[in-house]
Structure formats: structure tokens, C-alpha cells
Structure 1
Amino acid sequence: MQVTDVIDREEIRTLLTVYVQCADTGRTDQMLALFAPDAVMEPTGDPACHGREEIRAYFERAGESFRAHMAVPLLRHHLSSIRIELPAPDEATSTSYFLAITSIGPDHWGRYKDRLARTADGWQIVHRQLLLEGRTADGWLDRHEAARASNR
């Protein structure tokens, strides 16, 4: 392994950490800067988001729902088991597990599967699969999904 590989992996690990910290604290503009302008995000159960503005709209809707369904709007995502591969000098893939915790406990969990590219602005996410694997009954995400289903 080259020193540049170690640096690239650490920069990508930092990007993933900054992403969840920005998402948890409502710093949408900073979070969106981590995505390439034409990035695609595919969240489980929702249409794919193409480009930063569709990704912004997705997170703004999630934030509105969170504030509407939670008495204490506290959300913390925890990442683990981060695996980063560097198939080419300016390309990377990563897989990480996430667990989202609210003021009432564990809420939802799953995996992020990312493709990243080195750009003039540093490493950016070009494609993200947000793979939801479970959620707690009557937690925020459960309430959110129930409200969406009743509006269909």
C-alpha cells in the first residue's frame, strides 16, 4: 500500500464522517458539497435523486418529517465497518454500516454503498445507494413511513 492510498482512504473516511455530522445537524449546504454536482443518490423505497437539488429536496423533506414526528429533534448517525477500495487513482468505492439514533433510542439502520471520484474540490460522492435494512417500530422513520402511506 502506498502512502497516497492511506491519505486517500483517510480523506474519504473524513468525507463520510462529515456527511453524517452535517446530516444530523442540518448543515445541508456543507453536506451537498460532498456530492458531485451530477451525483445520484438511490434511497431504499424512494425514487433516485439526480443532482444536488434533488438530493437537497430529499433531505429537506426528511428534516420536515423528523421535526413533525419527534418531540425532541435529536438525530445521530453512527458509521462503522467502513471499507474503502481504490480501483484507480481518482476513483474509489466504499461500503459502511450506519445506525441512526434519536432521543428515544435506535431508529433505523443499514448500509451506504458509494462510488467516489477525486475532483478539483477533493473527493466527492458520485453515486450513493442508501440501503435501509431495518427500523424500530414507532420510531421516527416508522412514523414517517406510516404518514406517507396514509397520504397515498
Structure 2
Amino acid sequence: MSTTPESATHPSSLLRLLLDERDIVAVATRYCRVLDTKQWDGLAEVFLPDATAQLGNPTELAGLDAITDRIRAALENLDDSQHLVGNHEVTVDGDAGTHRCYLQAQHIRRVPDGSPNYIVAGRYEDRLVRTSDGWRIAHRTLTVMWTEGNVAVVRG
């Protein structure tokens, strides 16, 4: 799951590293819960206020409001969604960290023509920082690897 720095050989250092790794994976999981429950305010517990993101397109979003607006526009009209993440890779270096994981997201919406399902699969790559409120994403890149289903589900 992680790369252990040489300095983390002391038991207390190793424990801190393991807790940091767990907390970073929890940020990725929290992100999925926020998206699937449409509790957009919860993104403040995932991203820094001045975070940046590239979410499946080349346009870089700057700031929590822009990130929230983009996510909300993509998911608000869905009947349901389920975002699953796995194969987490975490590195920690002091108060900075990186995270990479694979994702599969099922999107459901009844549309006039075709299936109500659209699946997106890809990976998230994150840079995180430790704050007084815990780990937060400073930058997230979503790389879409493949899709399947009716794209009309996520359009319009």
C-alpha cells in the first residue's frame, strides 16, 4: 500500500505512517460517499479551499467552489450513482502525501432512449497535505481509462 521512508523504522514512526496511510485512503472513500449521497458540502472535508483538479477533461479547475460546481453539474440529475475505489497506493513524506487508486463509477438515470446505465472506469491521482483538520487533497487528476453504456445518462 505504501512506500515506507527509511526514517519510519522506529515503532512510533511506523505507527504514524500507517495511520497517515489509513487517513489518506479514508479521504478517497469520503469523496465517493459525498458524490453518491450528493452532500456537496462534504467536499470541504476532502479538498483544500484552494485545491485544483482535472476531472476527466483538460480544463484545470481552481478552488473548492469550481470543483464542487463541476461535480454537482455532472451528478446532480442522476437517479443514483455508486463510486468504488480500490488498489490504493499511498506515500507519505512528513506533511505531504500522494495517493493513487483505481475507480469504477456506475451512473443511473432513466432517459427516454436506451439503457439507464453508464459506467466510467479510471484512476485518481492525488497530492495531499496534512492540515489541522486532517489530510486534504491539494490536487486531483481523474484519468478516464474506459467507459461503457449509455452516455446520455450523464448528459443533459
Q: Does 1:114 align with 2:126?
A: yes
Structure 1 counterpart SS, 2:90: strand
How many Å separate the matches in 2 of 1:97 and 1:62?
Answer: 19
What is the root-mean-square deviation of aligned Cα atoms in Å?
1.8
Give the equivalent residue in structure 1 for 2:29: 17
Question: Structure 1 length as normaliser, TM-score?
Answer: 0.82
Q: Which runs of 5+ in 1 are unaligned?
A: 68-72
Aligned CA distance change for structure 1 residues 62 and 46 (closer, same or farther; 3 Å): farther
Runs of 4+ in 1 over 6 A off after TM superposition: none
Question: Structure 2 length as normaliser, TM-score?
Answer: 0.80
Q: Which runs of 5+ in 2 are unaligned?
A: 1-7, 9-13, 109-115
Number of residue-to-residue matches in the alignment = 137
Identify the match of residue 89 of structure 2 among 83, 87, 90: 83
Give the equivalent residue in structure 2 for 1:70: none
Structure 2 counterpart SS, 1:54: helix
**Identical columns (%):** 26
Higher Cα Rg, which structure: 2
Contact 2:23 2:135 in 1 (8 A): yes
CA displacement at 1:105 relative to structure 2: 5.2
Contact 2:118 2:149 in 1 (8 A): no
How many Å separate the matches in 2 of 1:102 and 1:54?
Answer: 22
How many Å separate the matches in 1 of 2:135 and 2:65?
Answer: 19
How many Å separate the matches in 2 of 1:105 and 1:61?
Answer: 18
Give the equivalent residue in structure 2 for 1:102: 107
How many Å separate the matches in 2 of 1:36 and 1:83?
Answer: 21
